[in-house]
């Protein structure tokens, strides 16, 4: 597995995991939603507007969202 995908996974995991520390279920769901939104924004807003140095990659988004989902499940 490429290092880039691992970093995306960890980013999503940390976002959802830190937000998921709150005991309220709606906040835990919000942490998952935030991880997905950050992953989408990073790929389709940041990377798309910086084509000389970044490449839009659906699998980067998927790795970030998966990390958020795993943290959501672990913290639930």
Contact indicator for 62, 9 with CB cutoff of 8 Å: no
The ranges assigned to domains in the chain are 3-75
Compute the CA torsion angle 46, 48, 51, 56 (nearest 10 deg).
100
Q: How does pLDDT run across 36-52, given as a tens digit for each residue?
A: 999 999 999 999 999 99
Q: Give the model's pLDDT for residue 1.
A: 58
Residues 6 or more apart in contact with residue 29 via CB below 8 angstroms: 72
Furthest-apart CA pair in the chain: how many Å?
42
pTM greater than 0.85: yes
Q: Phi then psi for 51, rounded to 5 degrees?
A: -70, -20
């Amino acid at each position: 597995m490429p290092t880039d995908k691992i970093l995306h996974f960890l980013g999503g995991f940390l976002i959802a995991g830190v937000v998921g520390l709150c005991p309220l279920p709606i906040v835990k769901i919000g942490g998952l939603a935030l991880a997905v939104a950050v992953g989408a924004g990073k790929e389709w807003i940041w990377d798309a507007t910086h084509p000389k140095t970044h490449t839009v990659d659906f699998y980067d988004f998927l790795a970030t969202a998966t990390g958020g989902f795993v943290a959501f499940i672990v913290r639930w």
